[in-house]
Amino acid sequence: ETGVTQTPRHLVMGMTNKKSLKCEQHLGHNAMYWYKQSAKKPLELMFVYNFKEQTENNSVPSRFSPECPNSSHLFLHLHTLQPEDSALYLCASSRQDRGQNIQYFGAGTRLSVL
């Protein structure tokens, strides 16, 4: 148990659905991340939020929309996804203001797009 909670753990959605992934941490961290892990591909960083401000967006399609209402919660809103978006989506958090960046990961949401 890393202290980072992701819900749901599994999600199946159609290409026309709208759904949201949720990530929550109460570790006192000020940075939160969304990653995508596709089968047999390196882990891909999608978004970074630092003190609730988005600091990085690695050319992610607009059908993925992040939201960080406060430093403890992070959402990934999904709409009109494609089958190739099926993957494990991982959330992580870290405390960045001391030059450290050890990230704590959630267990992930396994997403299947039909």
Partner 1 sequence: KNEVEQSPQNLTAQEGEFITINCSYSVGISALHWLQQHPGGGIVSLFMLSSGKKKHGRLIATINIQEKHSSLHITASHPRDSAVYICAVTGNQFYFGTGTSLTVIP
Binding site residues, partner 1, CB under 8 A: 2, 37, 40-45, 56, 58, 88, 90, 92, 100-108, 110
Partners of 35 in beta bridges:
45, 90
Minimum gap (Å) between residue 16 Cβ and partner 1: 26
Please answer whether residues 25 and 32 qualify as being in contact, where contact means their C-beta atoms are separated by less than 8 angstroms: yes
If the CB atoms of residues 22 and 79 are measured against partner 1, the closer one turns out to be 22
If the CB atoms of residues 41 and 69 are measured against partner 1, the closer one turns out to be 41
Backbone dihedral region for residue 102 (phi beyond 0: left; psi -120 to 50: alpha; all else: beta): beta
Q: Which two tokens stand for residue 82?
A: 């494609």
If the CB atoms of residues 103 and 113 are measured against partner 1, the closer one turns out to be 103
